[in-house]
Structure 1
Amino acid sequence: MSADFWSGYAAGAVGIAIGNPLDLIKTRLQAGDTSITAAHSWKQPFGRLGDLVKGITAPILGYGALNALLFVTYNRTLLLLGQQPELPASAGKAFAAGTLGGLATFIVSAPTELVKCRTQVSAEPKTSFTIAKELWKEGRVRALYWGGGVTSMRDAIGYGFYFWSYELSKKSLSSKDDTDKQAALKILLCGGLAGVVTWTSIFPLDVIKTRVQTQQLTQPPTLAPERRLLIHPTTQQNPDNMPTTASQTNANLPRKLGAIEIAKHAYRTEGLPVFFRGLGICSVRAFIVNAVQWAVYEYLMQVFRH
């Protein structure tokens, strides 16, 4: 495999390991649990130390591969566009290459995000592997890609801004006279800024994605009764106490809503602020995670080049 593949894989895995506790808070806030605030959720969701890494298996395995695919596609696209991956001259071409890279990650990001989000909001202590098996049993490959459309849109737009903002800030801040320490600090700063810019640009899409993927697992206490019936699983009483078949159980569940339906319903019931719930904690996570990711990636690329 190429240097950018392994550098991207390692950077993605390290970033997820660092950012998972904050990502857990973000996901639960996005899923609609308005009974907690970001500050209070430090105590509430983390009843056990193990909860700090809840849902981390899928993203570490998946996001490492995703990041590797992302950087390989990005760098190859830049070369095709006549740019040097180390420092592309055109920010617009960096955006285009990032968008294509984001689209290329769909095959990994869609099932990874689905398993991660469902693991994080599940009321029962389930592992990522258990969630993946349940999804496979529910609908094979198709079930693993539920919410894939809005996920691919989020990734294409987000990674376009990601590489655009990183290369632009790097070009503005870097200098040939920088010492190794100064260069490293600037990479951390540029990576952190790129993370914040990216998540700010796509956060409403990410909220919709999270709600699409977790709509039958969460039931926030503040939701109106009619909304609970609309997007959450319901059970019908069996007066004869007869065992129900799998088809009968599925018949009792409401159909899953698409991204547009979820977005419309969220806006009608909770207003515009719902699309930015959790942005604060997400921005903190984005700065930390992406600063570390870019530092690891740039360092490993230098090692491989030498």
Structure 2
Amino acid sequence: MTSDFWAGYLSGALGIIIGNPLDVIKVRLQAGDVHAAASPTHLTRLEKATSLVRGAAAPILGYGALNAILFVAYNRSLTALDNSITDPTSPVGVSPYKIWLAGAAGGLASWTISSPTEFIKCRAQLDPRAEVSSWAVAKDIIRTRGWSGLYFGGGITSARDAIGYGFYFWSYELCKRFINSDDDGAYQSAMNILLCGGVAGVVTWGSVFPLDMIKTRLQAQTIGDHGHLTETQALLGRRTLSSFQIAKETYRAEGVKAFYRGLGVCSVRAFIVNAVQWAAYEWFMKSFNQLGTQVKLQPGI
């Protein structure tokens, strides 16, 4: 495996561990569970460790692999788009639109993992059963919908990933170019990476949040099999609607604000998670590359 694969995997898993508590709140707000998300009972439940990590098992394993594929696909796509690049992790002088296209290609490549991972996570976080695990949710989906059921909502997930990751890499690189200078010390460089990573996370979610809300409500429809009716399902009358139908019905009933419900929580989470994730990725890449250089310099290798 290449350095960017393992750097992406480890940084992705770390990001999920840090960000899952706020992601639980974000998903419940998107699903339309406004009163539950704001009630003291709900907050007390969220304070428990078991609730804070709810639905985290699938993303920790899945998002690590997703992030690995994302960074590998992005680096390879960027190199293919611009033959002059010698180091895709530092694309100095590369056109921003090429960075966006490479990021979108990386998002599409990671979709094979992000789609089932997102569905399982969403179901686990919204399921009314208190102690439901990611594994139980995955088995339930396969039992009721078959293996292909893991990709329920895959179309809108792929659109979200392509657009979002395009802006993810685009905003990170532009931010680095804007604030970096030749005389930055190690501490300042680390602070720059944290800042640019956080900015990239906020920009990314701001660009695709309505799509993510629709995806959440689309997938939340499948929870009704257990006899629990979410606000989303009450609004839609238990019918399984398409992404377009959900968008239309949501706008008619709740207005534009519904498409951005939970964006504040998501932005806080996005800044923290992606600041740490980018810093970890850059550090792992530097460490792996240094290790590889040392190995090559050893006699007989």
Match of 2:69 in 1: 69
Match of 1:275 in 2: 259
Residues 68/123 of structure 1: CA separation in 2 closer, same or farther (3 Å cut): same
Residues 36/134 of structure 1: CA separation in 2 closer, same or farther (3 Å cut): closer
The CA RMSD over aligned residues, in Å, is 1.7
User: Higher helix share goes to which structure?
Assistant: 2
What code does the residue aligned with 2:172 have?
Y
One of 127, 130, 134 as aligned partner of 1:128: 134
Contact 1:55 1:116 in 2 (8 A): yes
- Contiguous gaps of at least 5 residues in structure 2: 291-301
Q: TM-score, normalised by structure 1?
A: 0.87
Contact 1:25 1:38 in 2 (8 A): no
What code does the residue aligned with 1:4 have?
D
Cα separation, 1, equivalents of 2:35 and 2:282:
41
**Identity across the alignment (%):** 54
Out of 37-46 and 157-166, give the one that drifted further. 37-46
Cα separation, 1, equivalents of 2:36 and 2:235:
22
Instruction: State the aligned residue count.
Output: 280
Q: TM-score, normalised by structure 2?
A: 0.89
Match of 1:249 in 2: none
Could you give the per-residue CA deviations for residues 96-117 of structure 1, whole angstroms, max 9, x where no partner exists? 0000000111100000000000
Cα separation, 2, equivalents of 1:231 and 1:144:
23
Q: Does 1:156 align with 2:162?
A: yes
Contact 1:34 1:220 in 2 (8 A): no
What code does the residue aligned with 1:301 have?
M
Structure 2 counterparts to residues 1-306 of structure 1, below 5 A: 1-36=1-36, 43-46=43-46, 48-82=48-82, 83=85, 84-88=87-91, 89=93, 90-124=95-129, 125-217=131-223, 219-220=229-230, 228=234, 230-232=236-238, 254=239, 256-306=240-290
What code does the residue aligned with 2:124 have?
T
Contact 1:38 1:281 in 2 (8 A): no
Contact 2:19 2:273 in 1 (8 A): yes
What code does the residue aligned with 1:141 have?
W
Q: CA deviation at 1:18?
A: 0.1
Cα separation, 1, equivalents of 2:235 and 2:258:
20
Cα separation, 1, equivalents of 2:45 and 2:242:
28
Could you give the per-residue CA deviations for residues 171-203 of structure 1, whole angstroms, max 9, x where no partner exists? 111112111010000000000000000000000
